[in-house]
Amino acid sequence: MTAFSLKIRLFSTLLTVLFLAIFSTGTMAQEAGQGHVDEHTEELNVSKVIIDHVLDDHVWHFTDNAVLHLPVIVYSKEKGLDVFSSSNFYGEHHEIVPYKGYKLEENKIYLQDTGESVLDLSITKNVAMLLINAALMLIIFLTVASSYKKNRLKAPTGIQSFIEPIIVFVKDEIVKPNIGHHYEKFLPYMLTLFFFILFGNLLGLLPGAANLTGNIAVTMTLAVLTFIITNVSGNKAYWAHIFWTPGVPLPLRLVILPVEIVGIFTRPFSLMIRLFVAITAGHIVLLSLICLTFIFHSVVVGGVASLIVLFINLIEILVAAIQAYVFTLFSCVYVGMATAEHEHH
Amino acid sequence: MFLTLLADIAWAIMGAGIGAGLAAIGAGIGIGRIGGSAMEGMARQPEASGRIQGAMLIIAALIEVAALFALVICLLIWTLG
């Protein structure tokens, strides 16, 4: 064995150990910070810990002491625009105090005197995660594009050699077979969709990260975008098929009409629910297994739970990729159905 | 009246537990059938085993999401109860 191959084996072994260590202990360290505050006899409210972890928050908890108080940006007709740090909402003993006429109830901000809700444009955990995701995508793809231009006649190197096969996979396996001709019009959106969901899912699995694609508002936005693109690019055959199904007797057409109209909306709805449920349920399963250790207060259970959590984390990485693939695939199928050329019956 | 309220919550949480179990059964049956057909197809034609394996993983993810949907609803019942 040459010295070079030995170096590669050492490097890959190191990388594997680091990878396994991060995914099995990182989440446990974070949970240990959140669980016990003062006394050892305090009961651990498992469901609260799990729900707090998968939902959005104004404060980003890394450990019990290392928290990041994200800015609060609220607008209301009575008080106008207000920008302040969310640390103002927490008193000395981590209890929630009202501030400047606003109060925080169940992580939502209301006006203190009237109890009305305000327009909340804060940078919360999920918004910060979304910005990180966008920045990551910009960095990676601008690099790939520039190296594609520089290496025009040479073999790809560096990150281009990692990303380019995935782009070609999305183009040739997902977009082209399902949309057919004119697929170039939809290719940028489908590629962005695929990589946004993929990076969002994978980033959410890192220790201390926020649950970005498990937020139903994010998945609803992606589904609404697909809905808009599908229906704006629908051609006459598509709309004729929905409202006046050809080749079917007249009474049946009136029965099919409401079904088809509801069908326009259930397709993006299913896209939204599928991604949200897959990612959120994965996080909930992981957190439940980690909390098992803290319910039993046993090191043996901790060791076994760590191994199971590691295994399920690897499955979650697979699920992250599969859910990105499935979302993009179904989006392409719907766009393909909307832009299909009229077949002669 | 307070006792009947507690009894209602107890019934609801038991229902959530049974629902989660039924969801697991549903997922097990569905993915088991997919796996069985995939194994049979791969045994009949080993050259296509790569494509069959890829399709099997994707369909298993879709079925699993349906079961997880029921699981999330059961978790919702448990946390609200």
Give a yes or no: residue B4 inside a domain: no
Structure token digits, residue B73: 């609803």
Mean pLDDT for chain A overall: 84
Q: Which of B61, B64, B69 lies closest to A273 in CB terms?
A: B69
Classify residue B6: in a domain, yes or no.
no
The tally of domains found in chain B comes to 1
Let me know if residue B40 belongs to a domain.
yes
Percent of chain A topping pLDDT 90: 32
Could you write out the DSSP letters of every residue in A288-338? Answer: HHHHHHHHHT-HHHHHHHHHHHHHHHHHHHHHHHHHHHHHHHHHHHHHHHH
The chain B residue lying nearest A280, using CA atoms, is B72
**A 273-332 residues inside an 8 A Cβ radius of B:** 273-274, 277-278, 280-282, 284, 318-319, 322-323, 325-326
Residue A105 has pLDDT above 70, yes or no: yes
- Angle at which helices A250-296 and A216-232 cross, to 10°: 160
Domain interval for residue B29: 12-80
Residues ≥6 apart with Cβ < 8 Å to A6: none
Token couple for A332: 């392409």
Domain contains B66 = yes
- Nearest by CB to residue A280, choosing from B61, B64, B72, is B72
- For residue A125, give every residue at least 6 positions away whose Cβ sits within 8 Å of its Cβ, in sequence order, or none: A56, A57, A58, A59, A60, A70, A210
Question: Does the ipTM exceed 0.85?
Answer: no
* Chain B residues within 8 Å of chain A (Cβ atoms): 57-58, 61-62, 64-65, 68-69, 71-72, 75, 78-79
pLDDT at B15 over 50: yes
**Is residue B24 included in any domain, yes or no?**
yes
Contacts of A183 (CB under 8 A, 6+ apart): A171, A175, A176
Angstrom CA distances, A23 to A29, A166, A186, A295, B53, stand at 11, 24, 36, 21, 26
Q: What is the pLDDT of residue A16?
A: 81
Q: What is the CATH number of the domain that holds B22?
A: 1.20.20.10
The answer to the question of residue B64 being in a domain is: yes
Q: Which of A:189-228 have CB within 8 Å of B?
A: none
Does residue B60 belong to any structural domain of this protein? yes
Q: How many helices (H) and strands (E) does chain B have?
A: 2, 0
- Which residue is it, tokens 């380019």? A164
Band (pLDDT 50/70/90 cuts) for residue A25 is: low
Dump pLDDT digits (tens) for B36-66: 999 999 999 999 888 898 888 888 888 888 8
Percentage of residues in chain A having pLDDT higher than 70:
92
pLDDT at A118: 82
- Please report whether residue B36 resides in a domain: yes
Lowest-pLDDT choice from A34-43, A226-235, A296-305: A34-43
Q: What's the pLDDT tens digit per position in A260-273?
A: 889 889 989 989 99
Residue of A nearest to B71 (CA): A281
pTM, rounded to two decimals: 0.84
Average pLDDT over every residue of A217-236 = 92
For the residues of A101-128, what is the DSSP string, one character each?
TEEEETTEEEETTT--B-EE----HHHH
CA B39 to chain centre: 21
A50-88 residue pLDDT tens? 888 888 888 888 877 788 888 888 888 887 888 888 888
Residue A101: count other Cβ atoms within 10 Å of its Cβ: 14
